[in-house]
Amino acid sequence: MGHGYKPSDLSLETDHEGKRKNRVYFYYNDNPYDLSLTDPAWEQRLALISPGKYPAAGLDIPAGAETWLTLSLGEPYQGECYKLAATVLVW
């Protein structure tokens, strides 16, 4: 089960390092994060735009909107488990 986090300075990237992978960048408690984005709705949305890194405003997220992330741990990969941004909630 994941936990909800209200990030600051949220941005999303599509086509990370020349691969069609989505990432989410944000700050939480003044710490920077760079996580894989696995939210199916946002994956579909990002597939429709040009590769690049987009701030929240560039993704039609209203300036006054609340944005929260649900983070979870992925399956073990090469003996490690990594945090993932499983859901991006905007209201």
CA–CA gap between residue 21 and residue 19 (Å, rounded): 6
Residue 67 contacts residue 88 (beta carbons within 8 Å)? yes
Determine the average pLDDT of the residues in 71-78: 92
Which amino acid type is present at position 21? K
User: Tens digits of per-residue pLDDT, 22-52?
Assistant: 999 999 888 999 999 999 999 999 988 888 9
Q: What is the pLDDT of residue 21?
A: 86
pTM for this model (two decimals): 0.83
- What share of the chain in percent tops pLDDT 70? 91
What are the chain's domains? 3-90 (2.40.50)
Determine the average pLDDT of the residues in 60-87: 91
CA–CA gap between residue 52 and residue 18 (Å, rounded): 10
CA–CA distances in Å: residue 87 to residues 18, 41, 49, 78, 79: 23, 9, 19, 24, 24
Q: What is the pLDDT of residue 3?
A: 62
Q: What is the pLDDT of residue 38?
A: 93
Q: Is 49 helix (H, G, I), strand (E, B) or coil?
A: coil
Q: What is the pLDDT of residue 61?
A: 87
User: Residue 56: how many CA atoms within 13 Å on its side-chain side?
Assistant: 19
